Amino acid sequence: MTISEHVPESNVDVLIIGAGPAGLMAACWMAHCGVTTRIIDKRGTKIFSGQADGLQCRSLEIFDSFGFADRAWKEANHMIEICLWNPGPDGIIRRSDRIPDTIVGLSRFQQITLHQGRIERFFLDNIKKYSNDTIKVERGVLPESLEIDETEVEDQSSYPVTVKLRHLTDEEATPQQQISGSKISDGLFRSNLTHTDDEDDLIRKNKSRAGTGEIVHAKYVIGCDGARSWTRRALGFELLGEATDSIWGVLDIIPITDFPDIRMRCTIHSTENGTLMVIPREDKLVRLYIQLKEVTPDASGRADRSKISPDSIFNAAKKILSPYKIDYEYCAWWTAYQIGQRVATRFDSHERVFLAGDAVHTHSPKAGQGMNISMNDTYNLGWKIALVAKGIAKPSILSTYQSERRKIAQDLIDFDHRFSRFFSGRPAKDIMDAEGISMGEFKEAFEKGNLFASGLSVNYEPSNLVSKAVGESKEVLSDATSSANAFTKQSLAKGLPIGMRFNSFKVVNQSDARPWHFQEKLRSTGQFRIVVFAGNILSPPQKKRLEDFCEALGAPDSFFRTSATSSPPLDAPIEVLTIHSAERVETNLMDFPEILHPYNPHTGWDYDKIFVDDVSYHEDTGKAYENYGVDKERGCVVVARPDQYVGWVGDLEDFKDLQRYFEGCLMLSLRA
Ligand code: FAD
């Protein structure tokens, strides 16, 4: 910036760089938690077609917790079955297997497909609603420099990250997205085959005009600026890993074909022509992922992009699908990419600047993981930053972002290695063909892969947010984890593994008899939840146990009282929900201690906090205790973190340990 130029300066709690799925998920948390936030993107618009399209069960559970899963669920194509096609003894492809797309019973949602642009739209609407329009994506804005004042990073009231921003013209913010003479949206401009970093160029041009600069001082910065992340480069972090030789083309078309499984998810291995993956989409669209056998990288490792066009990709698809015929009139989008599997060396600097999404991991898109894992990164990070920025949680919880998510990124790369090998290899001719891929193994890998891909196998390690022993032993935990004792009573709720997401079963509202999936009550408000499995409260000794627990909870010095703030919407950072196992018709709301269904002088009792594991009129209920592995007489207590992961399991008598859990992660003493 020139010295004579007046450069406006401002402070903000959170600055998010990049408004793709990862950045929008972070902004969504900030909107729901009421944190002052800015989100910038160098591009002039969100994307309208192409890129990611698969939404996994866990992502839908998360969308539901923010209140917009129904929009995606209604608009999307539902993926129910996978068909595996392989060459028969005569070399002609035939269907060899069918398997369910989502493992049965894993979640209340199944995998769906809908393009990334719609998902970004749902986020934008939700952010607008919950932030009262105060958080808006500022488009055509990019960072020029980033500095962290290391002397200030320990001071929670400081704004130690200084970012210089540049405001672009509409023209500068619009990438060249269409190949000349074609009306088809071309994703090559963002593909790793052709993409070049344009930030330096944009900033140089922009600097020559006055009034385009701005300085922002932020408490926290989240770099969600994609695979070529400027933020990552500014921090000097690297992506480690490798690119493979496989080049894949992607076409989003409305196919005209006699192939019978075109509305199923299919993998089609041909004998000599490579592999094709069919992904049915919304509005009759089908995405084809096609291995481009005729395009190989040169000595420098880069493929010749001039050989790649919608026609060349489609011709490759036709060969694989033969003897079936396929044609199309409408193509919505196309691209090509080279598989690169990389993970960043670090995910944060000084726990003040964080990286998320493609900025810290890249891999092949066929398993539908890119967008999902990227959103899950910031779903993990967003509430932590929000609670620390609001002075509710201890800054030490921020280190769990890297410890929890870097492992997932590494698992993703390992998964992708295996998955890609199965996709890119040719089918084995017979049992002696060691270089070929056995189709039995392929099916097995696919089935196992589906669990990982669903996002529901995530199991976070011990920390001050996850109170469990390391392995079977109760080792003393170090660093971020030192404040947690390794208290663990997993056996009280075997169906709620500590470190995994709170599974959902149906329960019935005590007050109005309406059945709910319990997860619907774990909304993303930024609140921790204490789920009291109250057991059989018709038994006097059990009722006494519950009353003693509630008395401890209500004491003036309990974590429940001392965590309260005067900072809405998070004035009550902990919510208590109860599921009991006595018969609903034999019990009443008033039988329960008041703290479990609090009274408001203006609106009366809270009728939405006490649930029962009992039969209902129209739905299959009454199996929650059994499925959660909780004793129906004695119950137990479970803590769900704001992101629905189980953090602690104990008995009704273990109040002191519960108090210690919250002392380990929340700023209780300051307000006590
Ligand atoms: P992105 O979606 O890349 O978002 C990054 C955002 O940051 C963009 O809006 C960008 O404009 C902005 N930005 C970049 N640099 C700056 C800067 N310096 N300053 C300000 N803003 C900046 N995944 C699948 O699951 N299935 C697929 O079929 C699939 N196909 C893909 C095809 C292509 C060509 C690409 C590029 C990706 C594809 N992906 C696919 C991956 C998926 O789109 C990503 O994993 C997902 O979008 C990652 O989300 P993100 O928010 O981390 O990054």
CATH number of the domain bearing residue 394: 3.50.50.60
Mean pLDDT of 640-653: 98
Nearest CA to ligand 1 atom 30: 51
Do residues 57 and 111 make contact, with C-beta atoms less than 8 angstroms apart? yes
Domain finish residue from 453, 468, 498: 453
CA distance 640 to 322: 52
Predicted pLDDT at 509 = 98
pLDDT of 178 over the 70 cut: no
Do residues 273 and 319 make contact, with C-beta atoms less than 8 angstroms apart? yes
- Is residue 58 classed exposed, middle or buried when 0-12, 13-18 and 19+ CB atoms within 10 A define those classes? buried
Q: Is residue 465 part of a domain?
A: no
CA distance 355 to 377: 9
CA distances from 200 to 2, 205, 230, 486, 542 (A): 17, 9, 10, 49, 67
In this structure, are 402 and 301 located in the same domain?
yes
Strand ranges in 356-477 using DSSP code E only, listed in sequence order: 361-362
pLDDT of 643 over the 90 cut: yes
Decide whether any atom of ligand 1 lies within 6 Å of the 194 Cβ. Answer: no
Predicted pLDDT at 561 = 96
Nearest CA to ligand 1 atom 37: 51
Picking from 145-149, 299-303, 587-591, which range would have the lowest pLDDT averaged per residue?
A: 299-303
Q: Which atom of ligand 1 is nearest to the CA of 377?
A: 52
Decide whether any atom of ligand 1 lies within 6 Å of the 42 Cβ. Answer: yes
- Judged by DSSP in three states, 655 sits in helix
Predicted pLDDT at 307 = 76
What confidence category does residue 476 fall into, taking pLDDT thresholds of 50, 70 and 90? Answer: very low
Predicted pLDDT at 660 = 96
Q: Which atom of ligand 1 is nearest to the CA of 142?
A: 19
Mean pLDDT of 47-60: 88
Decide whether any atom of ligand 1 lies within 6 Å of the 389 Cβ. Answer: no
Å from CA of 309 to ligand 1 middle: 21
Nearest CA to ligand 1 atom 15: 225
pLDDT of 670 over the 60 cut: no
Strand ranges in 273-386 using DSSP code E only, listed in sequence order: 275-280, 286-291, 326-344, 348-349, 353-355, 361-362
Q: Which two tokens stand for residue 592?
A: 């329960």
What confidence category does residue 172 fall into, taking pLDDT thresholds of 50, 70 and 90? Answer: confident
In this structure, are 488 and 439 located in the same domain?
no
| Residue appearing with tokens 């993107």 | 41
What confidence category does residue 306 fall into, taking pLDDT thresholds of 50, 70 and 90? Answer: confident
Q: Which atom of ligand 1 is nearest to the CA of 250?
A: 28
Mean pLDDT of 255-280: 94
Which of 24, 38, 40, 41 is the best mutation target for the ligand 1 pocket, counting ligand atoms within 8 Å of the beta carbon and taking the most?
A: 41
Predicted pLDDT at 398 = 98
Closest CA to 253 of 50, 47, 111, 48: 50
In this structure, are 488 and 414 located in the same domain?
no
Å from CA of 254 to ligand 1 middle: 24
Q: Which of 93-102, 286-295, 578-587 has the highest mean pLDDT?
A: 578-587
pLDDT in tens, 484-540: 456 789 999 999 999 999 999 999 999 999 999 999 999 999 999 999 999 999 999
In this structure, are 375 and 524 located in the same domain?
no
In this structure, are 437 and 496 located in the same domain?
no
In this structure, are 495 and 370 located in the same domain?
no
Mean pLDDT of 164-186: 71
Q: Is residue 184 part of a domain?
A: no
Q: Which atom of ligand 1 is nearest to the CA of 279?
A: 28
How many Cβ atoms from other residues are within 10 Å of residue 150's Cβ? Answer: 11
Q: Which two tokens stand for residue 60?
A: 């839908």
Predicted pLDDT at 413 = 87
In this structure, are 438 and 518 located in the same domain?
no
Picking from 164-178, 445-459, 645-659, which range would have the lowest pLDDT averaged per residue?
A: 164-178
Decide whether any atom of ligand 1 lies within 6 Å of the 335 Cβ. Answer: yes
Determine the structural domain holding residue 500 and report its residue range: 479-665
Secondary element (H or E) of residue 577: strand 574-580
Number of domains in the chain: 2
In this structure, are 489 and 408 located in the same domain?
no
pLDDT of 156 over the 50 cut: yes
Dihedral pair phi/psi, residue 245, rounded to 5°:
-80, -10
CA distances from 551 to 545, 557, 558 (A): 10, 11, 10
CA distance 82 to 263: 10
- Percent of the chain clearing pLDDT 90 (strictly above): 72
Q: Is residue 149 part of a domain?
A: yes
| Residue appearing with tokens 């018969």 | 583
Decide whether any atom of ligand 1 lies within 6 Å of the 53 Cβ. Answer: yes
Q: Which atom of ligand 1 is nearest to the CA of 187?
A: 34
Q: Is residue 535 part of a domain?
A: yes
Mean pLDDT of 310-326: 94
Predicted pLDDT at 208 = 67
Q: Which two tokens stand for residue 475?
A: 């080792």
Predicted pLDDT at 27 = 98
Predicted pLDDT at 429 = 66
Higher pLDDT, 491 or 296: 491
Do residues 220 and 389 make contact, with C-beta atoms less than 8 angstroms apart? yes
CA distance 22 to 359: 9
Q: Which atom of ligand 1 is nearest to the CA of 335?
A: 34
Mean pLDDT of 443-472: 85
Picking from 23-32, 260-269, 442-451, which range would have the lowest pLDDT averaged per residue?
A: 442-451
CA distance 5 to 271: 65
Å from CA of 172 to ligand 1 middle: 19
CA distances from 669 to 369, 659, 665 (A): 41, 12, 11
Name, in order, each residue with C-beta under 8 angstroms of 67's C-beta and a sequence gap of 6 or more.
126, 523
Domain finish residue from 453, 487, 511: 453
- Judged by DSSP in three states, 574 sits in strand
Predicted pLDDT at 321 = 96
Decide whether any atom of ligand 1 lies within 6 Å of the 191 Cβ. Answer: yes
Do residues 64 and 519 make contact, with C-beta atoms less than 8 angstroms apart? yes
Name, in order, each residue with C-beta under 8 angstroms of 657's C-beta and a sequence gap of 6 or more.
467, 485, 487, 648, 650
In this structure, are 532 and 635 located in the same domain?
yes
Decide whether any atom of ligand 1 lies within 6 Å of the 186 Cβ. Answer: no
Decide whether any atom of ligand 1 lies within 6 Å of the 579 Cβ. Answer: no
Mean pLDDT of 585-590: 97
Predicted pLDDT at 183 = 58
Picking from 44-48, 75-79, 221-225, 382-386, which range would have the lowest pLDDT averaged per residue?
A: 44-48
Decide whether any atom of ligand 1 lies within 6 Å of the 230 Cβ. Answer: yes
Mean pLDDT of 80-95: 93
Closest CA to 72 of 56, 94, 91: 56
pLDDT of 478 over the 50 cut: no
pLDDT of 627 over the 80 cut: yes
Å from CA of 22 to ligand 1 middle: 9
Residues involved in catalysis: 53, 281, 289, 365
Let me know the angle formed at the C-alpha of 104 by 68 and 461, rounded to the nearest 5 degrees: 70
Q: Is residue 466 part of a domain?
A: no
How many Cβ atoms from other residues are within 10 Å of residue 210's Cβ? Answer: 11
Decide whether any atom of ligand 1 lies within 6 Å of the 19 Cβ. Answer: yes
Predicted pLDDT at 190 = 58
Angle, helix 57-66 to helix 370-389, in steps of 10 degrees: 40
pLDDT of 55 over the 90 cut: yes
- Judged by DSSP in three states, 150 sits in helix
Do residues 551 and 558 make contact, with C-beta atoms less than 8 angstroms apart? no
CA distance 595 to 153: 39
Q: Which two tokens stand for residue 49?
A: 């077609």
Residue type, 70: D
What confidence category does residue 353 fall into, taking pLDDT thresholds of 50, 70 and 90? Answer: very high
Mean pLDDT of 605-633: 98
Decide whether any atom of ligand 1 lies within 6 Å of the 22 Cβ. Answer: yes
Q: Is residue 458 part of a domain?
A: no
Q: What's the CATH number where 599 sits? A: 3.40.30.20
CA distance 507 to 620: 9
Predicted pLDDT at 125 = 98
Predicted pLDDT at 650 = 97
In this structure, are 395 and 516 located in the same domain?
no
Higher pLDDT, 672 or 656: 656
Mean pLDDT of 411-430: 75
For the chain, how many helices (H) and strands (E)? 15, 29
Å from CA of 198 to ligand 1 middle: 15
Go through 580-618 and write b for each residue having 16 or more CB atoms within 10 A of its CB, e for each that does not.
bbbebeebeeebbbebbbeeeeeeeebeebbbbbbebee
In this structure, are 419 and 535 located in the same domain?
no
CA distance 199 to 172: 10
Higher pLDDT, 404 or 199: 404
Q: What is the mean pLDDT of the chain?
A: 89
- Percent of the chain clearing pLDDT 70 (strictly above): 88
Q: Is residue 460 part of a domain?
A: no
Predicted pLDDT at 487 = 77
Domain finish residue from 398, 418, 453: 453
Mean pLDDT of 552-567: 94
pLDDT of 38 over the 70 cut: yes
Torsion of Cα atoms, 77 then 83 then 85 then 89, to 10°: -160
Q: Which two tokens stand for residue 289?
A: 């992922």
In this structure, are 413 and 540 located in the same domain?
no
Name, in order, each residue with C-beta under 8 angstroms of 262's C-beta and a sequence gap of 6 or more.
255, 278, 280, 286
Q: Is residue 94 part of a domain?
A: yes
